Amino acid sequence: MVGLFDRAFKGSDEMYALAEKALAEALATHDESTPAVFPNTAYYAACIYEYTGIKVMTLGDLKSAMEPIRAMMTRNYRTHDVFTSGIATAMAAEVIELCKYLDTDTPYNGEYHGHMNDAEVRELGVPLVTRDIPGFVVIIGPAPSEEEAEALIKGYQSRGIFVFLIGGIIDQAKNRKLSMGFPVRIVPVGPDIWCASHIISLVMRAAMIFGAIGPNQYDEMNKYTFERIFAFVNAFDPVDDLTIACGACAIALGFPVITNDTKDMWRVPKTLIIQEDTKDWIETSLEARDIKIKVTNIDIPVSYSSAFEGEIIRRPDMQVEIDGSRKDCFELCITKEAHEVEDHKIEVIGPDFDEIPVGSKMCAAIIAEVAGKSMQSDFESVFERKFHTFVNCMEGIMHTGQRDLIRIRVSKNAYEAGFRIRHIGEVLYAKLKNEYAAVIDKCQVKIYTSTDELHDLRKMANEIYDKRDERLAGLTDENVDQFYTCILCQSFSPSHVCIVTPERLGLCGAVSWLDAKATNELDANGPSQVVTKERVIDENVGSWEDVNEAVAKYSRGALERVTLYSIMEDPMTSCGCFECICGIEPFSNGVIIVNREHTGMTPLGMTFSEMASMTGGGVQTPGFMGHGKHFIASKKFMKAEGGVARIVWMPKALKETVRDRLNATAMELYGIENFCDMIGDEESCGNGDPEELVNFLSETGHPALAMDPMM
Amino acid sequence: MPLTKTSQKFNASINAFTIGTGDKAVTMGGENVLPFYTFDAPIENAPKIGAEISDLGMDKNVPGIRDYYAGAEDFTELARRASAIPGVDFIAFALDAADPNGEDRSVEECVEECKQVAEGTDLPIVIIGSKGIEKNETLFDKVADALSGKNVLLMSAREENYKTIAASAGLAYSQKIGAESAVDINLAKQLNVIISQMGVKPQSIAMNVGAASAGYGFEYVVSTMERVKMAALQQNDNMLQMPIVTPVADEVWNVKEAVVSEEDIPEWGPQEERGIQMEVVTASACLASGSNAVILRHPASIAAVSKMIRELI
């Protein structure tokens, strides 16, 4: 590395000498009181102002800056010396450039852009801060060929990256008749490497304007530029010492340098990257600077809107149908390594709609492969479940089902408008990238449509689904480190906080632990926040100090304690969205559960809505609790009071929905077979009379009758 | 038994928030007690009133408004008249005509109008954007530039467009930003958090936590404001300590009580009277629930509400 340091130091010395020379020449013809300012800026010579605090107004001021600049060119062979020397290089370069502006505001006569005024800094700064412009590149070159120069520039332009050009690449771009200027986001800065100081000046001013960084704030400045300004450098072979010294400045500010020069060059991971294949520069650069490109428009021949979500395609209007109930079909979202995914690659393997007879069924596997630093395989199923909505929002396309039971119908109109199977890939790509930008860095879609491959592929998919189900089944409250809050409903139920655990999903039934986990990852300030579970109070009733603190915090003090597994002691509150309510039934020592869809009477003498009015609104009513359907078969259901064995009555329809899972739970917990048959319903207990219920329970030998009283 | 009064002042306070410059600058917030609880601790900055004027011209159907602004040919004169209403603390200029689904007036024209308004008043200026959420991004960007140095408040930045507004108006031009959310304390807080994360100081943010006309779901507004204030004061939640500015006029002058003519429903009495009552009732309820400023339209409402504030503080 000493070699690299030496080259940077040498380049820095060279730049300083050039600055001294430029200054001496200027002083030979001008006196020290000559104004020395860039046009239309309130930040003086911004690099010099930031790092020395000197407000350069005259040639005399500029001269006085030379010593402080040299003072930063320390030579102790630590990284810090290279960084400060790099910054001194940029300041020396600024001296050279400022000398050109002594007699004129337009030293480059429009041929090059040179200095950028404050208005331009704001114009570029706003979209840079909002990330509407995802970042900017400084290309220093000439490229090996004009064609390559054009391809690189246009590649960045098409991704919305702002491009600054320095050196020979400007003439190459001109020869290729590329239109350039601030509005098209390609700016030819200047012919020489010291013109890079104009870009550093822009960075300095952006940080001062948008980050409130003041002069002489070395650490704050470099932290701000690293965290907030998404810039990087592409330097073509050959890279001389001057350029290396300027590169050191870029790196000090957090901007990686990518080059194809291999002579006397040293790789520094994520910082100084040697990529000999310049065709890969865009991808390498974006990855190095953590830049994600937003997809702004979806390239499909039909309209896309939530208005089309409910659209039904009838058989006579149908061009083709992907039908999982008859053919091998499935959709899948899987995580891959970053290098395995080529962003925005849409591959169709097999026949397209053209080759399928009108009105017939075809097979298809739609696989979205995603990669990202924050991606977790737990999110796959959360994202995959959204495919339904994503695909359904296309005009003329209908999607139902999930996994290997999907059905996608394409209307004749959509087909005639040019809709082909790859467009499903385009939509999935765009939606996944946009909605889950926080975790998905890259995405590619593969669509298989030939019968011979699909059988095996489906088997592979089913193995993945099975594995996911196993993971879900294996997820227990004990084997995770954290729960999540959900406070989505506080807009109408201010004091309610759901604590979502693997074995207790949100009471609305719509937010599982995995959903909450994904929500937290995607929206750090959103409704789902992490709740640790380190300080247990009583594991049997499900109380933790951490959980109580979270409930107190997120209910804003309205609630101080909840238990997760008890309905008698501090039961969890409800917003009002509960799928079901369970309530204590005193005659049988048990509880009844009634679901929202059930309009009839219950053995408590209350209907669902009557019970709802005393359960919702974020209040704790011991003996009553709102919950999701899925929770009924959980081993944590009323665990503190003895678990599911307490369930004595449910509407028939609800019982059928949970039968298999509930029977399995009862078998596992108590060794009871066909437990659901012991539970009363509106038929076995026709007039909702508690005595009739107790009689029925005695006949079936329901375990609740023999249990301790709940009150 | 003697009654011992205990003071309910809190250890936290609402941010003091200043708009405008010079003598006429207006500061709202700063209090460490609930609205109008001057018996607990003095409230230094009484709630403020803004007079709303629109770039679509003033309402011709309400005689009191029509006559007051009669003959005002340009926005400079409109602003001058509005500033002259007794009790007005700031001018709220609504860029209604910019609405892409309405007149779709160009950004350049709107900027020109704002400059005219600025010429007509030395009171602080609040700019109320159009209904076009996307358009407000460029609109506020240019207006913030044109009114640079005037310390104006731009209403409003919402979840969909806060980035550009925060970066441009908030950071590049150091103006004040109104964060608008829809009657939900968590959304209000979240928006304040993400705007702050852009680098805008909490002291440069005001909130519009949502408004409604009295009788139109207004209890949600009351509950939200109340909880925002309790969180700010009792729990010292610094992401909810921004003062609340509530545009009341736009809500009340569109409900049927203010719109239906006397001919259609004679038993309701004079139309204008009803509109004023709706405006006064809604505004006073907002102030009692936690608004640090309200934006009103009718000179009579402004007179009534400013009298109320004077007598209570």
Cβ contact B58:B66 at 8 Å:
yes
DSSP tag of B96? G
- Domains along chain A? 2-100 (1.10.8.190), 118-288 (3.40.50.2030), 306-469 (3.30.1650.10), 482-554 (3.40.970.20), 580-706 (3.40.1470.10)
Cβ contact B103:B56 at 8 Å:
yes
- The residue type found at A564 is L
Cβ contact A553:B189 at 8 Å:
no
Whether A402 has its CB under 8 Å from any CB of chain B: the answer is: no
Please list the alpha-helical segments (H only) found in A159-236. 169-175, 196-211, 218-228
Residue numbers in A near B163 (CB within 8 A): 129-132
Distance from CA of B68 to the nearest CA of A (A): 40
Q: Look at residues A378, A371, A374, A341 and name the one whose alpha carbon lies nearest to residue A467.
A: A378
Token couple for B241: 């300590």
Q: How far is CA B303 from CA A389, A661, B51, B250, in A?
A: 53, 68, 11, 18
For residue B232, pLDDT over 70 is answered with yes
Helix or strand (DSSP H, E) at A470: helix A451-474
Cβ contact A2:A265 at 8 Å:
no
Chain A from 51 to 90: CB within 8 A of any B CB: none
Q: Do A129 and B171 touch (CB under 8 A)?
A: yes
Please list the alpha-helical segments (H only) found in A566-607. none
Cβ contact A501:A513 at 8 Å:
yes
Say what the pLDDT of residue A3 is. Answer: 87
For residue A577, pLDDT over 90 is answered with no
Say what the pLDDT of residue A311 is. Answer: 86
* Nearest-by-Cβ selection for B167 from A129, A527, A556: A129
Give residue A131's pLDDT band: very low, low, confident or very high (50, 70, 90).
confident
pLDDT, tens digit, 9 for 90 and up, residues A39-53: 999 999 999 999 999
For residue A464, pLDDT over 80 is answered with yes
C-alpha–C-alpha distance, residues B284 and B280, integer Å: 6
Q: Do B164 and A130 touch (CB under 8 A)?
A: yes
* Nearest-by-Cβ selection for A491 from B164, B184, B194: B184
Q: Region A25-47: what's the mean pLDDT?
A: 95
Average pLDDT of chain A, as a whole number: 93
Average pLDDT of chain B, as a whole number: 95
Say what the pLDDT of residue A328 is. Answer: 93
Chain-centre distance for alpha carbon A67: 47
pLDDT, tens digit, 9 for 90 and up, residues A365-382: 999 999 998 899 989 988
Q: Do A209 and B171 touch (CB under 8 A)?
A: yes
Distance from CA of A431 to the nearest CA of B (A): 17
Cβ-based neighbour number of residue A291 at 10 Å: 20
Cβ contact B120:B111 at 8 Å:
no
- Give the residues across from B293 on adjacent strands: B48, B245
Q: Which residue in B has a C-alpha nearest to residue A213's C-alpha? A: B199
- The residue type found at A708 is D
Give the end-to-end CA distance of chain A in Å, rounded to a whole number: 76
Residue numbers in B near A130 (CB within 8 A): 163-164, 166-167
Token couple for A303: 């309209």
Q: Do A122 and B168 touch (CB under 8 A)?
A: yes
Residue numbers in A near B164 (CB within 8 A): 126-127, 130, 132
* Nearest-by-Cβ selection for B227 from A126, A129, A556: A556
Q: Look at residues A187, A197, A271 and name the one whose alpha carbon lies nearest to residue A1.
A: A271
Give residue A1's pLDDT band: very low, low, confident or very high (50, 70, 90).
low
For residue A2, pLDDT over 70 is answered with no
C-alpha–C-alpha distance, residues A392 and A307, integer Å: 10
Q: Which residue in B has a C-alpha nearest to residue A128's C-alpha? A: B167
Token couple for A504: 């207790």
Q: Region B259-268: what's the mean pLDDT?
A: 94
Residue numbers in A near B230 (CB within 8 A): 556
Percent with pLDDT over 70 in chain B: 100
Q: Look at residues A567, A471, A572 and name the one whose alpha carbon lies nearest to residue A513.
A: A471
C-alpha–C-alpha distance, residues B4 and B23, integer Å: 41
Residue B6 or A206, more confident: A206
Say what the pLDDT of residue A642 is. Answer: 94
φ, ψ for residue A360, nearest 5 deg: -105, 175
* Nearest-by-Cβ selection for A494 from B163, B164, B223: B223
Tell me the Cα Rg of chain A: 34
Does the predicted model carry a pTM greater than 0.80? Answer: no
Residue numbers in B near A522 (CB within 8 A): none
C-alpha–C-alpha distance, residues A693 and B47, integer Å: 62
Q: Which residue in B has a C-alpha nearest to residue A118's C-alpha? A: B172
Q: How far is CA B35 from CA A181, B12, B222, B240, B242, in A?
A: 54, 14, 12, 15, 14
Token couple for A177: 């008749």
Say what the pLDDT of residue A74 is. Answer: 95
Residue numbers in A near B168 (CB within 8 A): 122, 126
Q: How far is CA A423 from CA A320, A324, A384, A544, B29, in A?
A: 14, 19, 17, 49, 54
Cβ-based neighbour number of residue B165 at 10 Å: 30
Q: Do A494 and B183 touch (CB under 8 A)?
A: no
Say what the pLDDT of residue B3 is. Answer: 80
Q: Which residue in B has a C-alpha nearest to residue A123's C-alpha? A: B168
Whether A209 has its CB under 8 Å from any CB of chain B: the answer is: yes
Q: Look at residues A471, A491, A477, A307 and name the one whose alpha carbon lies nearest to residue A382.
A: A471
* Nearest-by-Cβ selection for A209 from B172, B198, B234: B172
Q: Do A490 and B193 touch (CB under 8 A)?
A: no
Cβ-based neighbour number of residue A682 at 10 Å: 19
- Domains along chain B? 18-312 (3.20.20.20)
A593-628 b/e (C-beta count within 10 Å ≥ 16 → b)? bbbbebeebbbbebebeebbeebbbbebbebbbbbb
Distance from CA of B167 to the nearest CA of A (A): 5
For residue B140, pLDDT over 90 is answered with yes
Q: Which residues contact A225 (CB under 8 A, 6 or more apart)?
A: A203, A207, A231, A253, A254, A255
φ, ψ for residue A330, nearest 5 deg: -170, 165
* Nearest-by-Cβ selection for A126 from B164, B183, B186: B164
Cβ contact B83:B91 at 8 Å:
yes
Q: Look at residues A7, A204, A4, A170 and name the one whose alpha carbon lies nearest to residue A91.
A: A204
Strands (E), B121-171: 125-128, 153-157
Distance from CA of A544 to the nearest CA of B (A): 22
Whether A490 has its CB under 8 Å from any CB of chain B: the answer is: yes
For residue A652, pLDDT over 90 is answered with yes
Distance from CA of A128 to the nearest CA of B (A): 9
Q: What is the DSSP string of A64-121?
A: HHHHHHHHT---SSSHHHHHHHHHHHHHHHHHHHHHHTSS-S-TTTTTS--S--HHHH
* Nearest-by-Cβ selection for A211 from B166, B199, B223: B199
Cβ contact B260:B271 at 8 Å:
yes
Residue numbers in A near B198 (CB within 8 A): 129
Give residue A513's pLDDT band: very low, low, confident or very high (50, 70, 90).
very high
Cβ contact A693:A587 at 8 Å:
yes
Residue numbers in B near A494 (CB within 8 A): 185, 223, 227
Residue numbers in B near A127 (CB within 8 A): 164
Cβ contact A581:A593 at 8 Å:
yes
pLDDT, tens digit, 9 for 90 and up, residues A317-348: 999 999 988 899 999 999 999 889 998 999 99
Cβ contact B140:B155 at 8 Å:
no
ipTM of predicted complex: 0.76
